Amino acid sequence: MEVIKSFTIDHTCLKPGIYVSRIDKGFTTFDLRIIEPNKEPAIAPSAIHSLEHLMATWFRNSEVKDDVVYVGPMGCLTGMYVIMTGSYSVEDMRRLTIECLQWILGQTEVPATTPETCGNYLLHDLPMCKWECARYLDRLRHNFHSEYTTLQVVLDNGQIFADA
Ligand SMILES: [Zn+2]
């Protein structure tokens, strides 16, 4: 089995920011890193679930809606993935995300939270979601990071795997 690219990023050096996780088959996967992995508490499942509903709603109604492929949470609960077609830079995604977060901070309810529209409709926390968004917004504006530090990974067959 090959080591997949995202596992070659040194998560001990990863700061909150926006990174290009990968570009393939015409799709760009953006890593919207909200908290510092393994140093700050991960986002609560209920808060990141609300963030998923809100962020997906915003992106799919925005000026770039036709290029949005996917918006969803990371399994490690430290950020979100946004997958886009077309050509978007980290700066484009930073501007869009700032606009999105500002919109979320003005919301008073989470969209699509009924048993018919959500697979776990009670698992939501809008106040905590907004708290995470406010902190991330501040970091995107004043303490922005966008360069990965990569690890060298040695595969089972002795080959060095690095994605740089
Ligand atoms: Zn849901």
- 163 CA from centroid of ligand 1 (Å): 33
Q: What is the pLDDT of residues 127-162, one digit of tens each?
A: 999 999 999 999 999 999 998 887 766 777 877 665
Contact predicate 83/40, CB 8 Å: no
Look up residue 65 and give its DSSP letter. G
pLDDT band of residue 164 (cuts 50, 70, 90) is very low
Say which range, 4-8, 64-68, 147-151, has the weakest mean pLDDT. Answer: 4-8
- Cα of 152 from ligand 1 centre, angstroms: 37
Task: Tell me the pTM.
Answer: 0.88
How many structural domains compose the chain? 1
The enclosing domain of 27 has a CATH number of 3.30.1360.80
- Taking alpha carbons only, the member of 142, 161, 137, 141 closest to residue 151 is 161
Q: Which structural domain, as residue segments, surrounds residue 47?
A: 5-161
CA–centroid distance, residue 118 to ligand 1 (Å): 4
Dist. CA 26 → ligand 1 center (Å) = 28
Judge residue 47's burial from the number of C-beta atoms within 10 Å of its C-beta, 0-12 exposed, 13-18 middle, 19 or more buried. Answer: buried
Q: Separation of 53 CA from ligand 1 center, angstroms?
A: 6
